[in-house]
């Protein structure tokens, strides 16, 4: 399965992946998913935003099912494992159960949630948020990517017949266990292969628009400038300082400049803040402080600032009985994550959800360096197989 996936969307220069939602590479990943499901005689349900569940419903397997799986889209130049490891491991776990002659008493589904990374349309976990009704389709209809392409147009040009909104796709789901590569160093520092997630940190994205006066880089005296780049630069440093002071995390990883010309003082600088912390209050306080300091600096420079919240998630504690059961089955540690996941969205929507993490020796993610050893990937499959055997019996 990995060999089939490996070349799809691979950026040969960086070794990272370009699988942005509803682009050809991501659609090739979706086709790979359909092929894998079809080879296993799984029946595929799909909702209006392209989320899919491939169901194993053997004779006698009735009622709501146990869902596993993850996402296949990536951040630009992301790693190979963030998302796909959960989907590959889910198919492999079904293979292992079948090879062992196991027949579940409840349906077992493998999910493929679309647009988890929020990298193209700005809202994290957009596919699962729409499917659960946590994001209003009217809001989603207004989303555009960096080139101004509307979500619906991107979906249509990728061959979907988009009908956004809460779907019945998840109505047949009893609980969800998402296996995911760890995006940090907890497991490698513990010397452990697999962990169970306790909670997903509160996190969100805010758009900072700094507006100034465009002018000539050579003829405009320094004292006559209203340069929005200055407040932006100060804000990046302020965010870093405030996050360190507040034991939170803040990142300006994306910026766009107009007109983005070497010899022109910008008219506008837009930076996107990703802020995270152990609880939502901490994150709100952090962003408020950063925005206040940014506004004060902009005012001093004769420029202006507008801050817009694009997507926020509270801290989500995964389903305790389910997570404790996984800890008992696997004897694995319970660790938090600073990353957002579809499992957190389903948990928020009332579907008992949990996560398994597989050791990443680099601790790096959202980067070509993201990695997981084959032995650890197999340990993850084994863990998921044991969990599925228990939960679907």
340 binds, among Mn ion, ligand HGY, none (CB under 5 to 8 A by kind): ligand HGY
- Cβ pair 117, 75 in contact under 8 A: yes
One of 124, 230, 305, 351 touching ligand HGY (CB under 6 A): 124
Distance CA 34, CA 44 (A): 8
Minimum CB distance to ligand HGY, residue 340 (Å):
4
Of 73, 82, 145, 193, which lies in the binding site for Mn ion, with binding defined by CB under 5 A? 82
Closest CA to 357 of 188, 241, 222, 203: 188
Strands 353-358 and 173-181, sheet pairing: parallel
The residue of the chain with the least Cβ separation from ligand HGY equals 339
Shortest distance, position 313 Cβ to ligand HGY, whole Å: 9
Is 114 a binder of ligand HGY (CB under 6 A)?
no
Is 104 or 122 the residue whose CB approaches ligand HGY more closely? 122
Number of residues counted as binding ligand HGY (CB under 6 A) = 5
Pick from 9, 83, 127, 277: which binds Mn ion (CB under 5 A)? Answer: 83
Residue 268 CB, shortest distance to ligand HGY, in Å, is: 25
Q: Is 273 in the site for ligand HGY (CB under 6 A)?
A: no
Answer whether 380's CB lies under 8 Å from 194's CB: yes
If DSSP codes are grouped into helix, strand and coil, which group holds residue 27? helix
147 Cβ contact partners less than 8 Å away, ≥ 6 residues apart: none
Inter-residue contact 112 to 33 (CB < 8 Å): yes
Q: What span, in angstroms and rounded, lies between the C-alpha atoms of 67 and 349?
A: 15
Tell me the H-state helices in 124-279.
126-132, 137-141, 151-157, 186-190, 228-245
Q: Which does 124 bind (CB under 5 to 8 A by kind): ligand HGY, Mn ion, none?
A: ligand HGY
Is 78 or 104 the residue whose CB approaches ligand HGY more closely? Answer: 78
Among Mn ion, ligand HGY, none, what binds residue 83 when CB lies within 5 to 8 Å by partner kind? Mn ion
Tokens 């540690």 locate to 333
Q: How far is the CB of 181 from Mn ion (least distance, A)?
A: 8
The nearest distance, CB 183 to Mn ion, in angstroms, is 7
Q: Which stretch binds Mn ion (CB under 5 A): 83-91, 118-126, 157-165, 370-378?
A: 83-91
Q: How far is the CB of 189 from Mn ion (least distance, A)?
A: 21
| Both structure tokens of 258 | 């107009």
Q: Within its chain, how far is the Cα of 311 from the centroid?
A: 12
The runs of H, that is alpha helices, within 22-116 are: 24-39, 84-99
Calculated CA dihedral for residues 223, 229, 234, 236, nearest 10 degrees: -170
The correct pick among 87, 243, 339, 345 for binding ligand HGY (CB under 6 A) is 339
Print the binding letters for residues 50-79 with ligand HGY: x by CB under 6 A, - otherwise: ------------------------------
Tokens 């152990």 map to which residue? Answer: 278
Token pair of 254 as six digits: 């994306």
Binding residue for ligand HGY (CB under 6 A) from 26, 47, 73, 117?
117
Q: Which of 26, 47, 73, 116 binds ligand HGY (CB under 6 A)?
A: 116
Query: How many whole angstroms from its chain centre is CA 238?
Result: 26
CB-neighbour burial class of residue 105 (10 A; exposed 0-12, middle 13-18, buried 19+):
exposed
From the list 275, 340, 351, 377, which residue makes contact with ligand HGY (rule: CB under 6 A)? 340
| Residues at the contact surface with Mn ion, assessed by CB under 5 A | 82-83
Which residues in this chain contact ligand HGY in the complex, by CB under 6 A?
A: 116-117, 124, 339-340
């Amino acid at each position: 399965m990995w060999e089939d996936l490996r070349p799809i969307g691979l950026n040969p220069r960086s070794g990272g992946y370009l699988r942005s939602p509803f682009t050809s590479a991501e659609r090739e990943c979706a086709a790979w998913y359909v092929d894998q499901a079809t080879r296993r005689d799984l029946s595929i349900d799909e909702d209006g935003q392209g989320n899919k569940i491939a169901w194993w419903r053997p004779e006698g397997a009735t009622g709501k099912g146990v869902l596993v799986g993850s996402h296949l889209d990536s951040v630009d130049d992301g790693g190979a494992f963030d998302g796909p490891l959960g989907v590959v491991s889910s198919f492999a776990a079904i293979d292992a159960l079948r090879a062992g002659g196991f027949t579940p008493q409840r349906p077992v589904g493998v999910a493929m949630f679309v647009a988890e990374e929020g990298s193209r349309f700005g809202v994290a976990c957009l596919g699962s948020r729409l499917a659960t009704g946590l994001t209003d389709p009217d809001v989603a209809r207004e989303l555009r990517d960096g080139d101004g392409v509307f979500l619906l147009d991107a979906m249509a040009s990728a061959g979907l017949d988009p009908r956004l909104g809460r779907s019945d796709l998840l109505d047949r789901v009893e609980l969800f266990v998402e296996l995911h590569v760890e995006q940090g160093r907890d497991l490698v520092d513990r010397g452990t292969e697999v962990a169970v997630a306790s909670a997903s940190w509160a996190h969100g994205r805010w758009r900072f628009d700094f507006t100034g006066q465009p002018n000539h880089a050579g003829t405009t005296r320094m004292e006559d400038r209203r340069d929005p780049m200055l407040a932006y630069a100060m804000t990046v440093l302020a965010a870093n300082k405030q996050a360190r002071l507040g034991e939170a995390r803040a990142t300006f990883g994306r910026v766009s400049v107009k007109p983005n010309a070497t010899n022109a003082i910008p008219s506008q600088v837009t930076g996107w803040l990703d802020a995270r912390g152990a609880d939502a209050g901490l994150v709100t306080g952090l962003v408020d402080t950063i925005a206040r300091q940014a506004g004060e600096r902009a005012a001093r420079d004769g420029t202006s600032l507008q801050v817009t919240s694009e997507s926020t998630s509270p801290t989500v504690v995964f389903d305790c009985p389910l997570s404790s059961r996984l800890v008992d089955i696997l004897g694995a540690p319970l660790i938090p994550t600073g990353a957002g996941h579809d499992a957190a969205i389903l948990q928020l929507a009332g579907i008992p959800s949990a996560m398994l993490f597989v050791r990443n020796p680099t601790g790096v993610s959202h980067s070509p360096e993201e990695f997981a050893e084959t032995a650890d990937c197999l340990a993850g499959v084994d863990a998921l197989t044991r969990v599925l055997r228990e939960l679907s019996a």
